[in-house]
A and B are shown apart, each in its own frame.
Chain A
Amino acid sequence: MRKAATVQELPGVSQSKTEVRPSAFAWSELASRLRPYLYLAPALICFILFFFYPIGSIIYLSFQDWSLINLEQMEWVGLQNYQDLMVDGDFHQVLGNTAVFTIATVGIGLTLSFLLALWLNKKAKVYGIIQATVFSPHIISLVSVSMLWMWLMDPQFGLLNAGLEAVGLPAYTWLTDPKSSLLSLIIVSIWKGVGYNTLIFIAGLQSIPGDIYEAAALDQSPWWRTLRRITIPMLSPTIFFLLIINTISSFQAFDTIAIMTQGGPINSTNMLVYYIYEQGMDFYNGGIASAASVILLILVGILTAVHFLVMSKRVHYR
């Protein structure tokens, strides 16, 4: 076994190759050729079982009428599930909610994070502490974050309304009014995510070479022009990365919905993953849930593909 390594991977240490006896040669070479695959096997088997096979499986399941109660009874229905989704008003609303939620959380969240990063990107210790503070919600379970905000948003005893009343504003029914429920989830999501984005932005800002800024300072470029002509273009890979990552993760919104609103009131906060969960696990419409999963998979797949394409192009430019 041990000598096998010498044949393939050791161009520099070829003298030990001569020690291999001719009869053992073929075997050891085969072993060394197989070795990387053997090392990869455990991980790849897991990925096949719990990622690639399920992806094929979900496409297959989306053409069936089935339910989790009785998996034996599967019936091929072709595109019926997709047609059902297309005429389903609830599903339209789910897509709309997902779109509004994504655009709002990503748009507002990234803008706030960018401004915070410009401000907090300084060496002094205080800024480090504030960075960690802003980041801290990111490592807390969404269960706790959701329950905490339910308490803050409680219409009767919640702190947010107490604050509003203290300054003479009317109290608000945050989560129980379909007009404000989605907005409330957006606030929670931005609060939780802004710290992560800020730190990624700061990491991006710190990788911009300082001499570019020195040159700009020598030209007496005003700060907004430096921002527009240097910082933002130099940061564009980071901005693009965060756009993709944040969009994908807001497609996945589930915990806040399940704990704070259960998709209500009147479907106003129902989004894709929650809809799939509801259809599959509560209403036993496996086919509909699978078709919705495939739609989600396509959306995420497109984003991932765009990400790879743009990022690999960037590497070529360098």
Chain B
Amino acid sequence: MYRVILASRKTVEWIGLLIVAFLFVFPFLWMASTAFKTMPEVRQFPPTLLPETWEWSNFAQAWESGPFLMYTWNSILVAVGILILQFLTAVPAAYAFARYKFPGRNLLFGLVLIVLMIPGQVIFLPIYVQLSGWGLVNTLWSLILPYAASAFGIFLLRQAFMQVPDEVIEAARLDNASEWKIMWTIMVPMAKPVLVTFGLFSFIYHWNDYFWPLIMTNSDEVRTLPIGISSLHMSDGGTLWNVMMAGNMILILPILVIFFVAQRHIIKAFIYQSK
């Protein structure tokens, strides 16, 4: 009797897990399935689970509905550009916070924590006004510069640098290594896992960003993929759901691939925010 109860509890739990997985995976599978259907099949009732005829041309149609090569290139430039700048500004700042005692350190670190907690969307208007004063609105700079420093990056790297044992640094100083050299050739390699974690976080965040490019740009030359994809549903004459879903696949595939490869790092990166 006991064994039967135990077995049925297990079955119930497995069914529960399947339902949860279904709720979170199925919408994506439905997106993929729709992306390959013909329009009549999209409108068919009852809906078909898998496409009857695989319509690869949806992807071509999505891709050719705008300058998508340019959008993709801009997306890469912006996400990678931000990443490099954040790396260059965060490493010295985190090193200073982690390894030096100086007047005003706590105050300055408090400012970093405030930046970490207050979202930039609250102040997009004055930033727009400022960038337009510098003539940078509608350039890639308007997408990159406001994110050149990352409070989260400084916070994360500071933790990593604090964990490097003092002996390592003292040994390097005895060898007459300059502070600058210690920072880049000893601290940075030792903080590599954290750097990877932060890099993934930053790249995913800015690859996905829709708000900032929407505000700061108004021409195709500087717009990014999310803007291009979102314009797919403005087409007249009925929504082409299949083409829209194909476009979305183009936007999410790189991130999904990265997620499958570096799942642990990515989850860690997002969880770190709570520390």
Residues of A within 8 A of B (CB): 1-2, 4-6, 8-10, 12-13, 16, 33, 35-40, 42-44, 46-47, 49-55, 57-58, 61, 68, 71, 116, 119, 126-127, 129-130, 132-144, 147-152, 154, 156-157, 159, 162, 166, 191, 195-196, 199-200, 203, 238, 241-242, 245, 248-249, 251-252, 254-255, 258-259, 273, 276-277, 280-281, 286, 289-290, 293, 296-297, 300-301, 304, 307-308
Contact = CB atoms under 8 A, between A and B. Distances in A.
A109 to B, nearest CB: 14
Contact of A46 (B31, B129, B149, B256): B149
A36 B226 contact: no
Contact of B108 (A40, A133, A203, A276): A40
Contacts of B113: 308
A91 B111 CA distance: 32
B2 interface: no
A50 B178 CA distance: 32
B270 A199 contact: yes
17 contacts: A4-B179, A9-B101, A10-B170, A16-B174, A42-B88, A50-B127, A57-B126, A133-B24, A140-B252, A143-B210, A143-B251, A151-B30, A242-B274, A259-B230, A276-B124, A290-B126, A293-B125
Contact of A144 (B124, B125, B241, B252): B252
Given A46-B149, A133-B21, A297-B118, A54 B127 contact: yes
B208 A36 contact: no
Contacts of B93: 39-40, 42-44
Given A47-B151, A133-B21, A36 B210 contact: no
Contacts of B149: 42-44, 46-47, 50
Nearest to A52: B111
A293 B122 contact: yes
B125 A136 contact: no
A130 B17 CA distance: 7
Contact of B25 (A54, A57, A133, A297): A133
Given A12-B170, A138-B270, A248-B117, 6 more contacts: A44-B93, A46-B149, A50-B149, A139-B255, A141-B207, A162-B45
Contacts of B267: 132, 135, 199
B9 interface: no
Contacts of A135: 267, 270
B129 A140 contact: no
A148 B31 CA distance: 7
B17 A151 contact: no
Given A141-B251, A144-B251, A151 B241 contact: yes
A138 B42 CA distance: 27
Contacts of A154: 239, 241
A51 B179 contact: no
Interface in B176-201: 176-179, 183
A58 B125 contact: yes
A50 B146 contact: yes
Contacts of A199: 267, 270-271
A1 B73 CA distance: 42
Contacts of B122: 58, 293, 296-297, 300
A162 B148 contact: no
A51 B123 contact: yes
Contacts of A8: 100
A276 B121 CA distance: 10
A234 to B, nearest CB: 15
**Secondary structure of the B side of the interface?**
helix
B151 A143 contact: no
B264 to A, nearest CB: 9
A55 B173 contact: no
A159 to B, nearest CB: 6
A136 B100 contact: no
Nearest to A260: B233
B15 interface: no
B83 interface: no
Given A147-B230, A166-B46, A36 B102 contact: yes
Contacts of A12: 166, 170
Contacts of B226: 141, 143
A16 B30 CA distance: 68
Contacts of A2: 176-179
B211 A255 contact: yes
Contacts of B117: 248, 300, 304, 307-308
Given A47-B115, A151-B34, A273 B96 contact: no
